[in-house]
Amino acid sequence: MIAILQLSSAPDRERVETLLGNLRLDPVGIALNKGSLAEAALNVQKILADVAERGDEALVEVCRRFDDPSFTAEQIRVRPEEMKEAASRVSPELMSALRRSISQVREYQSHVMPKDPPILHRSGIQLGMRFTPLDSAGVYFPGGKASYPSSLIMLAVPAQVAGVKTVVACTPPSKYGRTDLVLAACHELGLEHVIRAGGAAAIGALAFGTKSVPRVDKIVGPGNTYVQLAKRLLAGAIGIDGYLGPSEIVVLADETGRASFIASDLIAQAEHDPGSCFLLTTSQALANEVAVELAKQSAQRQRRPAIEKALAGSSAIIVDRSMDRLVELANRFAAEHVNLQVRDEQAVLKKLVHAGAIFVGPYAPVAAGDYVAGPSHCLPTNTTARFCSGVSVYEFLKRSSVVRYEEQGLRADAPAIMALAEAEHLDGHAASVSVRVSP
């Protein structure tokens, strides 16, 4: 049973702070020297070192231990004919759904693709910026508990739209990673590099390269603690996106909210196992109705145990008379998904500044964003939307400034350049200017 908490109650506020604190604990960063995370970090370091040294051999051993006891090096790379044959076995209805998803994600990512800004002109000076794609990127998507072709689409399509030359898709060789639907998605996307590997070993293989796995410049995608630890430990040697951990949702609603809709959205995140979900509402009546709906709807879902565990342990309905206070709290949660079911959407949107993705209105379920809307569903979690964004074409682009000086422009700026260089005791910097402008 989900708890209904009153923000005006001191004990309930303390419980809200505890829930928020549990979310905000850095899962793979600051606290690596504490408890089970310390052990996990050591294990990840060992796996990464082993993959760096032994390549495919180490990768096979890890895959045998966690996914498939009969796994061999020949199975690491998925052959094109495997993908084609898998696609032929998928029903026309599912293939149509895959194509719709790919098409609409591609349309949206092309729409938000940035253009080089206009040149800034000063007298004798031209200043600009250009966007260029990464040469290569690894897109990792999980396969331990379910099959996720949607996550592959949400990662690979933005990379393709950005113009990345080499996109390497990677998922565990579990029964879910081997499904026809996953391989059909790879086929529809035209991927040439599809890798069977999971966990920290897969991240290491993408970072270091092996005989079977191309080395990449950046790795993006969700995964378990081991995957996220590996990405963090390798950051700097490769690029990474952010922390894409357990799924979460915050719903902001007033008395106009639809209880059955809200409960269904909360359950959709709770069933991820683990998942956390929060309703922040100004209406006590709505809070009570949603609690009843959660009990009724969760009893009908296939993943009922996971849902009930999430609702009881890492979720809450929070009530307060002030929408402003609830929006302030939502900004502190900085949730992966935020759904608005309020009368004045624009007023709330203006004040809501921290969220991975925002779904506006009762007919905008998070599930639409998960599959076909267009923005990627690979989003920051654990309050990291305070400083991090979801995956998009921007994740696969670099920005380079472009600076052009003519003699007239350099002469105008020379005194300031040389004065600052001399003040920093860098006479070589000053000389590189004076040699150009001195008589």
Instruction: Show me where the domains of the chain are located.
Output: 4-26+245-374, 54-116+129-242, 406-437
What value does the mean pLDDT take over residues 422-430? Answer: 98
What average pLDDT does the segment 81-93 reach?
96
- Per the listing, tokens 């082993």 go with 50
* Catalytic choice (336, 354, 377, 395): 336
CB-based burial label for 327 (10 Å; 0-12, 13-18, 19+)? buried
> Percent of the chain at pLDDT above 70?
97
Closest to 111 in 3D by CA, of 161, 155, 59, 53: 161
pLDDT at res. 175? 85
Architecture label for domain 4-26+245-374? 3-Layer(aba) Sandwich (3.40)
Would 4-26+245-374 and 54-116+129-242 be classified into the same CATH topology? yes
Task: Decide: 326 and 251 in contact? Cβ < 8 Å.
Answer: no
74 is an active site residue: no
- Structure tokens that stand for 233 in this block: 């430990």
Q: What is the pTM of this model?
A: 0.92
**336 catalytic per annotation:** yes
- At CB < 8 A and 24+ separation, what contacts does 20-28 make? 20/332, 20/333, 20/383, 22/314, 23/248, 23/276, 23/333, 23/382, 23/383, 24/382, 24/383, 25/382, 26/382, 27/225, 27/228, 27/243, 27/245, 27/382, 28/225, 28/228, 28/229, 28/232, 28/243
| Beta carbons of 313 and 21 less than 8 angstroms apart | no
* Residue with more model confidence, 32 or 304: 304
Q: What's the pLDDT score for residue 387?
A: 93
Pick the CATH number of 54-116+129-242 from 3.40.50.720, 3.40.50.300, 3.40.50.1980, 3.40.50.970: 3.40.50.1980
pLDDT for res 27: 52
Reported as type and span, the H/E element at residue 64 is: helix 56-66
Exposure letters 192-231 (e unless 16+ CB within 10 A, then b): ebbbbbbbbbbbbbbbbbbebbbebbbbbbbbbbbbbbbb
Residue 257 has pLDDT above 90, yes or no: yes
Summarised one tens digit per residue, pLDDT across range 114-161 is 999 999 999 999 999 999 999 999 999 988 777 899 999 999 999 999
Q: Indicate which residue of 193, 272, 337, 354 is catalytic.
A: 337
pLDDT band at 273 (very low <50, low <70, confident <90, very high): confident
Per-residue model confidence as pLDDT tens digits over 7-60: 999 999 999 999 998 887 555 544 444 556 678 888 999 999 999 999 999 999
